[in-house]
Amino acid sequence: MLVNPLFHDRFQAGDVLGRKLIKTLTDLNPLVLGLPRGGVPVAYEIAQKLHADLDIFLVRKIGVPGQEELAMGAIASGGTRVLNKPLIAHLGISPAVIEQLTAREQQEIVRREKLYRGDRPALPIKRRTVILVDDGLATGASMLAAARAVRSQQPKRVIVAVPVASSDACDEFKQHVDEVICAYTPAPFHSVGVWYEDFSQTSDAEVQELLQQALRAHAT
């Protein structure tokens, strides 16, 4: 499978998205939320372009036992959960197993929030335009959990912004949020990573550093 990458790395992807948002966003005080870890470098560039606050919003995939890469759902900060009920029914996964795996991923969310933010509280969402950012959308399960969780905190508007996505995923989100910005929707889509020259994993340390840099930049 040979494709021509659309982006060098996540920072360049964020630059592209930031330029698109500048042209359409009229809100003066938006909040950019990156989905760790890969969404944070993209979100950082967007926040710099918009002179906006940057924070994280944690989402964890709930994997099928024995096939952890296959998502049967996702859980977001605050406990909002999205489940793929047809898949769960097809595989015969019991409610007890689902609850056990959900609790484990919720613990990981709490751990990572503490790791990334330290003692700093999450930035307020209520009555603000929130831009949810990831490095791409394939199935969209994680982003859907994030969108529902953010919506429960009474934002002014919710925008989903991603550099690359399947056209189906972009269309799906139009019914869940106020605006969807997908910079590119190549077909066939394949996967998120093939559209980047550098899709190396973002580390916890990089997430921490980008949040600190954003705080310093926004303060000045």
Structure confidence by residue, pLDDT tens digits, 141-178: 788 889 988 998 999 999 999 999 999 989 988 899 99
Cis ω on the peptide bond leading into residue 117 (within 30° of 0)? no
pTM: 0.89
In contact, 146 and 162? CB cutoff 8 Å: no
CATH code at 184? Answer: 3.40.50.2020
Domain that holds residue 138: 10-57+118-219
My answer on whether 133 and 162 are in the same domain is yes
- Three-state secondary-structure class, residue 93: coil
In 77-144, DSSP assigns E strands to: 81-83, 129-133
State both tokens at 115. Answer: 């790791």
pLDDT tens profile 198-207: 999 999 999 9
5 within domain boundaries: no
CB neighbours of residue 185 within 10 Å: 16
Mean pLDDT of the chain: 91
Indicate the burial class of 220 (C-beta count within 10 angstroms; 0-12, 13-18, 19 or more): exposed
In-domain check, residue 192: yes
Whether residues 30 and 73 fall in one domain: no
Q: In what order do the strands lie in the sheet with 157-164?
A: 53-56, 31-34, 129-133, 157-164, 179-184
End of a domain among 115, 133, 149? Answer: 115
Give burial (CB, 10 Å; 0-12/13-18/19+) of 5.
middle
| Residues 180-195: tens digit of each pLDDT | 999 999 999 989 999 9
Gap between the Cα atoms of 43 and 133, Å rounded:
6
Domain count, the chain: 2
Polymer length of the chain:
220
Domain end (from 88, 115, 142): 115
134 pLDDT band (50/70/90 cuts)?
very high
Torsion of CA 120, 122, 123, 125, to 10 degrees: -170
CB 46 within 8 A of CB 52: yes
Determine the 3-state secondary structure of 197 from DSSP: coil
